[in-house]
Amino acid sequence: MMRTWISVSVICCLAGSASALTIKATEAQIKTIGGASGGVWNLWSAGEVGEYIEFAGGGQYEIAVTAYGSPAGGVWPKMSLRFNGAAVGRINVTGDKPEVYMFIVKLPAKLPKAPVKVVVAFDNDAVIGKELHITEFTPTTSGAKITGSHVGGVWDESAQGEYAEKFFRICFAHKDVVALTWWDLCERGAWLKGGGLLHKDLSPKKVYTTLKKLLHEEWSTRAAGKSDAAGKFAFRGFHGTYTATVSAGGKTTKTEFHLGKKGPSAITIKLAR
């Protein structure tokens, strides 16, 4: 499995001799795709972490980010600093142990009165030219407040199901994503509270039913019909393993075939004699 990631622990904003504003990544208001582990926030798949900050005025600011990462295919992760969505600096994270990475930012004398959205982002998960395997995916039903999102409320069964469906659809639509692993089937011993697809008594949660419908109904192909005069039957289908059943002359033949990115575009089935 080829995968890059960035772990961020602390973000400090400095301005000259002024005291630093320190933001612990695990407590930041903005946290997208990723998860907490051992006092750090792991960024996966172009995730970001940060805070809304009110700057005292214009001038030069130093943003110090404590982070480390992991390479994939010889490519280290790229980290960018973004102000209100615009990149103001980019750095390669080239160590697997915590290091301080420094960004120098010059702000104009006139600043908007509203707080600035300052985030550290993981930029290159999907551009390393490798197949993408997404693991440890664990939205929960812990009851915690939803933060860093246009959606409000708390993480309950409805929020878990809706978020999981959106994320699975995005991944399914990306040509480089080949695997998406939900980390805990059941809530017994789950690494995150409320992170299972099933309750502790093994009854299904809403998210289980949602994903089952996606995988076994919407993203499964079933086709039936009669062949043409040349004995051909055409259909469009998702990648995967198929069982074809052909009946002719009172006899039935069953065969399996696999349809992948590289085909095949045609399957020949020999009828039973």
* pLDDT tens, residue by residue, 103-148: 998 888 887 778 889 999 887 754 555 778 888 899 999 999 998 7
- Domain shared by 148 and 188, yes or no: yes
Q: Give the per-residue pLDDT at 126.
A: 47
Asked if 90 and 172 sit in the same domain, the reply is: no
- Verify that 148 and 229 share a domain, yes or no: no
76 and 48 in a common domain: yes
Looking at the fold, whether 38 and 90 belong to one and the same domain comes out as yes
Average pLDDT over residues 188-207: 95
Domain match, 123 and 164 both? no
Q: What value does the mean pLDDT take over residues 240-254?
A: 91
163 and 188 part of one domain: yes
> What is the domain count for the chain?
3
Same domain, yes or no: 70 and 169: no
Q: Letter for the amino acid at 265?
A: S
Question: What pLDDT does 4 receive?
Answer: 58
Average pLDDT, the chain: 86
Percent of the chain with pLDDT over 70: 93
Question: Predicted confidence band at 244 (pLDDT cuts at 50, 70, 90)?
Answer: very high
Same domain, 85 and 148: no
The verdict on 114 and 21 lying in the same domain is: yes
Average pLDDT for 164-186: 90
Q: Does 17 score more than 60 pLDDT?
A: no
Q: Decide: pTM greater than 0.95.
A: no
- pLDDT of 220 over the 90 cut: yes
Give the residue numbers spanning the domain of 98: 5-128
pLDDT band at 15 (very low <50, low <70, confident <90, very high): low
| Domain of residue 29, CATH code | 2.60.120.260
Residues 208 and 236 grouped into a single domain: no
Q: Does residue 156 share a domain with residue 100?
A: no
User: Which of 183, 202, 218 is the C-terminal boundary of a domain?
Assistant: 218
Chosen domain end from 92, 111, 128: 128
pLDDT value, residue 19: 59
